[in-house]
């Protein structure tokens, strides 16, 4: 099986004017999955005219991964009622 050309690229990430990388596409996916790189970051690699929002880049190059991230996020954003009530007790 032949990989898409973007899998061999070295991707640079920028968030809040701080750059990191380079990352392989697989490394990028791992860092996103563990929360070290956020979807509101920007991405660039050699050959691109300009930085792109990471979500747009993923939408163009790996929409299945982006869909999976959104599904996982929906599962993890809701806290159990007991935990919400526990945190609410500490609010002045």
**CATH code: domain of residue 34:** 3.30.1490
In Å, the largest CA–CA distance within the chain is: 58
Q: What is the DSSP-derived secondary structure letter of residue 19?
A: E
Minimal CA–CA distance to 15: which of 45, 40, 32?
40
Residues 22 and 45: their CA atoms lie apart, in Å, by 9
* pLDDT tens-digit readout, 47-62: 999 999 999 999 998 8
Confidence label for 2 from pLDDT (cuts 50, 70 and 90): very low
Residue 13 has pLDDT above 90, yes or no: yes
Q: How many domains does the chain have?
A: 1
Q: Using an 8 Å Cβ cutoff, are 17 and 1 in contact? A: no
Q: Which residues pair with 42 in a beta bridge?
A: 14, 53
* pLDDT tens-digit readout, 33-87: 888 999 899 999 999 999 999 999 999 988 888 888 877 776 554 445 555 555 4
Residues 78 and 48: their CA atoms lie apart, in Å, by 37
> Domain residues for 29?
5-88
């Amino acid at each position: 099986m032949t990989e898409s050309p973007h899998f061999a690229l070295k991707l640079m990430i920028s968030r809040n004017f701080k750059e990191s990388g380079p990352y392989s596409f697989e490394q990028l996916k791992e860092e996103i999955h563990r929360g070290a790189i956020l979807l509101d970051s920007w991405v660039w690699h050699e050959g691109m005219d300009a930085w792109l929002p990471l979500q747009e880049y993923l939408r163009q190059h790996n929409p299945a991964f982006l869909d999976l991230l959104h599904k996982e996020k929906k599962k993890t954003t809701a806290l159990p009622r007991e935990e919400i009530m526990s945190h609410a007790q500490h609010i002045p």
